[in-house]
Every structure is written in structure tokens, then in C-alpha cells.
Amino acid sequence: MKRVFLPEKKLKQFFSKISQEYELFACAKSEETNRIVRLDDIPEEFEFAPVRTAESLRLFLLKLRQLVAKYPSDEFKEITPNFPRRAVIGVKGCDIRAIKIFDEVFLNDPDYVDPFYKSARESLFLVSIDCTDALDTCFCNLLGDKPYAEEGFDINLSPVEGGYVAIAGSDRGDEILSSLSLSEAEQQAISQMETNRKTVLAKLEEINKDFKTEKSYRELLEASEGSNGWETAADCVGCGACTNICPTCFCFTLYDLKGKDANYRFSVWDSCQYSGFARMAGGTNPRRSLLERFKHRYNHKFLHYPIRYNGVYACVGCGRCIVNCLGKIDIRQTFKKLDEAAKTAVSKE
Ligand code: SF4
Ligand code: SF4
């Protein structure tokens, strides 16, 4: 697809066009924490968040509480998911990649399609935007990713002087860009876009230079049985904040509620960090201790998920779990410690 130039003065028109079909949300810059805000009125100007927002797109795809069944009934009734059509403008590359992780689980296996996720996913229009800065907690580069999206968006915007280099990633995105009569982006704008991308990537390299590990995260976990490198786990209090804030976590539990005329079954977010999550009938629990649950979170994201889904990690390096951890645990530090422990073990052999 060709790259076009969206001038800043046409941004309002761009928003208006999208709002004709979708409820509009955008990732806004804020002095304190960047947030996804709902735009009831189209603003004259808009300042996009330079880095990821506090919340991710998970809230748009998996409801905190979802009614999934109503019973008893004398006939088979399906609850038809009916998600509103929504557009989020200004999403960062890490959050776009996070959706792919959900898609594998809830959408791509024809035997296990989640109708609620499918409805939410198909109703979502996504405009991504390149990161123009990086937080101290961002580490997408350590996972081999980049601070911009290369796929998975309807439209991607790259901020340059006077506007944005825009590219469509879907037919719908192409229709919207085409309707705005935009001219092709000039080479100067493309070069600026590439320079900006390299600058942010260089910043990420600098931020994370002390967190680099010799072995990959997957290799470290494969060899972590009996490792004494799990020392960061001592600060974990099992609050579950890391999983609740994570754009790629998807654990849920089902529960029933008795109503006046019927019973209702709900699906709610859950966390593998809670002691009851893996508990089974009879009280047996394969992950009774906090340390086992702590390790499980790492194993799930960096070992089990990649084994199941083509080597892809179930983490996008957004750093939200680092910012929100009550025990001040940094996921990068955990791997650094495992790496050091692995090296010490080899040198003793
Ligand atoms: S594990 Fe942490 S860094 Fe990775 S995607 Fe989840 S919140 Fe982001
Ligand atoms: S947020 Fe931190 S303290 Fe809370 S469960 Fe996760 S790792 Fe443990």
C-alpha cells in the first residue's frame, strides 16, 4: 500500500470521518499518565500520547464481566454478542501486537472461537501511531520488537513535521484514507519517519542496555528448574496487579448467579497469581505456593505460549507490570538474575 501524507490541519476531518461509523477513542498525552479517552466531540487539535497509555486495548476486547449464558430454558438460546463499533486512534505498536496474542487463543483455532471476543474484535477499528519517546520501563526491543507497528492496524500514522505519514493496513483503512484526498508522502517525510523510528529504537537500546541477557528468555526458563535465580520472587505479594494490567493476559473464570426467573452465567477476569486460580475439586492445587505461581506467570508467557503458538512470546514489553507491581519487581531484572545464575552454574561445572 502506498504511503500518504495527512496534514495536521486535516486531523479533525480524519477523526470526523472515522466517527461516522465508530464511537471514537484516542490515546491522549497527559502530564501525569497517558490515557485512552473517549471523544464525544471532535477536537480542533489533538496531542497524541508519545508512549503507551496506562490502560491497554484489553478493556475493549474482554469485558471485566461478560454474561455468557442464561438458563434453564426449554430451548437452546444463544446469547448474541453485540459489541458497539469502536475506533481507537493512537495505539502503540506493543498494544497492536498484544491483540495478535489474544487472536491466537480466542479466534484463530476454528474449534475454539470465542463469540464474544470475535464480536468485540470485529467491531474494533485501530489506528496505530509510532512511539515518539520511550519510558524507562519499555523493553519491546529486548523481545526483538520495534516501537512502531508493522501490521495488525487499519491505519498507521508516523508523526513528521506538519502532519503524519499514513499507511492503510486494511481495506476499511484504505477507504478512509482515500476519502480524504491525500497526496502521496514525499521522500523527505518518509526519511524523517525513518530517522524518528531509529531515534526511539536507539533510546530503547540505551534504556535496556544493562538488562540484556546472554540467553533468550525462553532458553533461560527451559533451564530454570532448580535455578537459584528466582530471587525477585521474594518480593511478590500475590496481588495480581501484574496480570490485571497486562495487555496479553487472558485468564478468566466462570461463575453462576441465581436470578428471580433464571440463572445467569458470567465470565470474569481472573489471575494466575491468585491462590484459588488453579485449585481443583477436592482442594488439590498444583500451584499452592506463591513461588510456584510467580514462576508460572513467566513460564506461561515465555515458554508455554511460544511452544503452543509458533515461538511468539505472550509479552510485548510494554512495562505496565513493572510500573504497577506492589513488590517493585521488574520482569527484566528477574531474567537478568536467571541469566546470572545460569552463568554461575556453568562456571562451577
Ligand atoms: S508481562 Fe508486563 S511487559 Fe509483558 S505485556 Fe504484560 S504487562 Fe507488558
Ligand atoms: S504485581 Fe508484583 S507483587 Fe503483585 S502478583 Fe504481580 S509480581 Fe507479585
- Which DSSP letter does residue 272 get? T
Q: Residues 23-66: pLDDT tens digits?
A: 999 999 998 899 999 999 998 889 999 999 999 999 999 999 99
Higher pLDDT, 345 or 130: 130
Distance of alpha carbon 278 from alpha carbon 292, whole angstroms:
11
Distance of alpha carbon 45 from alpha carbon 25, whole angstroms:
14
- Which DSSP letter does residue 302 get? I
Cβ of residue 57 lying under 6 Å from some atom of ligand 1:
no
Rg of the chain on CA atoms, in Å: 22
Q: Considering only CA atoms, which residue is closest to atom 4 of ligand 2?
A: 239
State in Å: Cα 324 to ligand 2 middle.
8
Q: Per residue in 35-67, is it b (16+ CB within 10 Å) or e — as a string? A: ebbebeebeeebebbbbbbbbbbbebbbbeebe
Q: Residues 94-127: pLDDT tens digits?
A: 999 999 999 999 999 999 999 999 999 999 999 9
- Which DSSP letter does residue 283 get? G
Cβ of residue 323 lying under 6 Å from some atom of ligand 2:
no
pLDDT at site 81? 81
Cβ of residue 331 lying under 6 Å from some atom of ligand 1:
yes
Cβ of residue 96 lying under 6 Å from some atom of ligand 1:
no
State in Å: Cα 5 to ligand 2 middle.
44
Mean pLDDT to the nearest integer, 187-191? 98
Mean pLDDT to the nearest integer, 175-180? 96
Q: Which ligand is nearest to the CA of 328?
A: 2
pLDDT at site 36? 97
Q: Residues 267-311: pLDDT tens digits?
A: 999 999 999 999 998 989 999 999 999 999 999 999 999 999 999
Q: Considering only CA atoms, which residue is closest to atom 5 of ligand 1?
A: 315
Domain limits, the chain: 4-208, 217-348
